[in-house]
């Protein structure tokens, strides 16, 4: 009887430990989007926007000598508005004061996302995510991971959806968001954009950063800013057939990411645990 009890306890411990391992691992095995394809070593989405390059006419920021245009932000605005836009609009339904509204959205993004470099998350030096991908990841896993441009894109989209004017600002090596709050009293710097003073910096990459705090190192840098609009004419048109060769994402570098529904995940966990138990002679 004692031997049988020890065997049962061992079996239960192994099964529980393995199931918990798979449950913990599952959020890391989810991808916030699909429809990616590779062309000449870069990853593109279904709009033909390059996710692994900020510069050029097809880059996610369309950055060039004359400035930039945050093309990836328009994947979640205008006719393309979906989850992220709805999330921003919901804040506006609850909060009337513009300053408090901007702060609430800022806190939501700052607290709901974990800063992670693109190299660590995707295996690419750059890989931009659009706002809807981040919201889906957060809603599915109660967490989302991204770097500075991902934070900036999500903030700009949600602020715009809430009826606030927003912009994306680029430094030589960083991206952040701006929101127009001419009466905001708690900013260490008030910025001017297009001759209009009253723009407040949103640096959500730090878990304790307040809205309106501009890091000192950016105060003397050359900055570029672009105010976003939810005008459908600003959004990129999705091509009928994306160019290039379709591949599983990512085709190289990083680890394979797959989206699993909770039901499928449970079925897989039960099957794997049962198989391990049989292999170990525990059944």
pLDDT by position in tens, the chain (length 283): 444 444 434 455 544 444 444 444 443 333 334 589 999 999 999 999 999 999 999 999 999 988 999 999 999 999 999 999 999 999 999 999 999 999 999 999 999 999 999 999 999 999 999 999 999 999 888 889 999 999 999 999 999 999 999 999 999 999 999 999 999 999 999 999 989 999 999 999 999 999 999 999 999 888 999 999 977 555 554 444 333 333 333 322 222 222 333 443 444 455 555 665 565 565 5
189 in the same domain as 113:
yes
For residue 85, give the nearest of 97, 74, 99, 100 by alpha carbon.
74
Phi, psi of 105 (to 5 degrees): -70, -40
Distance separating alpha carbons of residues 58 and 60, to the nearest angstrom:
7
Contact assessment for residue 33 and residue 130, using Cβ atoms and an 8 Å cutoff: yes
CA 137 to chain centre: 8
The boundaries of the domain holding residue 26 are 1-30+261-283
pTM above threshold 0.75: no
230 in the same domain as 129:
yes
232 in the same domain as 273:
no
CATH (domain of 203): 3.10.620
12 in the same domain as 90:
no
Query: Would residue 253 be called left, alpha or beta, if left means φ above 0 and alpha means ψ between -120 and 50 degrees?
Result: left
> Which runs of consecutive H residues, i.e. helices, occur in the chain?
2-25, 83-94, 98-112, 118-122, 131-141, 148-161, 262-279
DSSP-derived letter for residue 55 is B
Cα dihedral 38/40/41/43 (nearest 10): -30
Contact assessment for residue 191 and residue 119, using Cβ atoms and an 8 Å cutoff: no
278 in the same domain as 235:
no
Distance separating alpha carbons of residues 211 and 104, to the nearest angstrom:
10
73 in the same domain as 154:
yes
152 in the same domain as 90:
yes
Structural domains in the chain (count): 2
224 in the same domain as 147:
yes
């Amino acid at each position: 009887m004692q031997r049988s009890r020890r065997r049962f306890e061992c079996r239960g411990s192994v099964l529980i430990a393995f199931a918990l391992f798979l449950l913990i691992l599952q959020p890391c095995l989810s991808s916030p989007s699909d429809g990616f394809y590779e062309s000449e070593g870069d990853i593109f989405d279904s709009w033909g926007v390059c996710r692994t390059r900020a510069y050029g006419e097809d880059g996610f920021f369309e950055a060039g000598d004359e400035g930039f245009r945050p093309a990836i932000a328009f994947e979640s605005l205008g006719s393309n508005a979906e989850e992220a836009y709805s999330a921003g609009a919901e804040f506006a339904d609850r909060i009337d004061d513009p300053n408090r509204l901007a702060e609430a959205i800022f806190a939501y993004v700052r607290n709901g996302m974990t800063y992670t470099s693109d190299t660590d998350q995707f295996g690419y030096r750059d890989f931009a995510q659009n706002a809807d991908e981040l919201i889906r990841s957060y809603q599915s896993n109660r967490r989302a991971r991204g770097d500075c441009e991902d934070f900036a894109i999500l903030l700009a989209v949600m602020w715009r959806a809430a009826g606030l004017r927003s912009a994306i600002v680029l430094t030589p090596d960083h991206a952040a968001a701006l929101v127009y709050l001419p009466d905001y009293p708690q900013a260490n710097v008030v910025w001017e954009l297009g001759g209009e003073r009253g723009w407040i910096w949103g640096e959500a990459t730090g878990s304790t950063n307040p809205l309106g705090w501009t890091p000192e190192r950016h105060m003397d840098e050359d900055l570029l800013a672009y105010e976003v609009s939810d005008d459908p004419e600003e959004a990129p048109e999705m091509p009928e057939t994306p160019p290039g060769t379709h591949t599983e994402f990512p085709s190289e570098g990083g680890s394979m990411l797959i989206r699993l529904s909770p039901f499928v995940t449970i079925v897989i966990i039960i099957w794997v645990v049962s198989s391990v138990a049989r292999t170990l002679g525990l059944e």
